Amino acid sequence: MTAAARPRFPVVLTVFAVLLLGVLLALGVWQVQRMQWKEGLIAAAEAAADLPPLPLAEALALDDPEFRRVILTCRGLAAAPYVELQSIENSDAGVRLVSACAVEGGPTLLVDRGFVSAEISSRPPVNAADTMPVVITGVLRRAPAPSALTPPAEGRFYGRDAEAMARALKVEGPVSPFTVFATTSTNPDWVALKPSAPPAAFANSHLGYALTWFGLAAALIAFYAVLLRRRMTRKDTES
């Protein structure tokens, strides 16, 4: 075989394969990081569930109060104005009622009072002049950032946008980044309202996703090796 007849190394194919391999490995590593983050959330939620409830002020003073059970008093909460958040509870469609609770010496807190099935058309009474204190226990959760794909609120919310909810409730001043999910009823005489907190258990499928990306990376390496071998072998045969 002369020097001119030697098979040329597939530079373009190799560069493309290396770039694609880098993307697949990066996605795999990202899923591993997400898995570790999710495991931390699960551990934090399980640890907090075993702790006794704290007064709200003490819980908010913690470095990370998420998932902590709290006790708080909100004046007029049983008859407070609310916004409705479209939701599903145990395969049952309905809404969650969210009201504002003024916290002494701190930002206003949103309180998720619970779930009402779509089959129930009535709602708790609203009386903005009511100042009767209501003591509830609940779970602190950080409000997620709204999604750009969430439909705009037109009388009902389809995403938990804390700032937009606060505006709809005519809240003045700062709003806490945390929401309290009531676990005791704000309206014990109105049984249609079902207080509940989001489940502390999180789906953790990131290991499977990571193995998928790493598996695709391994398949790419094998495919590239076979393709390169065939290319070089064909060049040898032709020469």
pLDDT in tens, 4-58: 555 677 788 888 889 999 999 999 999 999 888 878 777 777 777 778 889 999 9
Confirm if 133 and 75 have CB atoms less than 8 A apart.
Answer: yes
Residue 233's pLDDT is what? 77
CA distance 186 to 112: 10
How many CB atoms sit inside 10 A of residue 117's CB? 15
Note the pLDDT tens digit of each residue in 45-90.
Answer: 777 777 888 999 999 888 888 889 999 999 999 999 999 999 888 8
Is residue 236's pLDDT more than 60?
no
Per-residue pLDDT tens for 132-146?
999 999 999 987 776
Is residue 126 classed as helix, strand or coil in its secondary structure? coil
Token pair listed for 43? 């551990």
More confident residue, 102 or 152: 102
Q: What is the pLDDT of residues 153-211, one digit of tens each?
A: 667 888 888 888 999 999 988 889 999 999 999 999 999 999 988 765 556 788 888 99
- H or E element that contains 111: strand 108-117
CA distance 219 to 232: 20
Count CB neighbours of 17 within 10 A. 18
Q: Is 59 exposed, middle or buried (0-12, 13-18, 19+ CB in 10 A)?
A: buried
Helix 11-49, helix 206-238: angle, nearest 10: 170
Q: Distance between terminal CA atoms of the chain?
A: 6
Residue 165: name the closest of 143, 197, 142 by CA.
Answer: 143
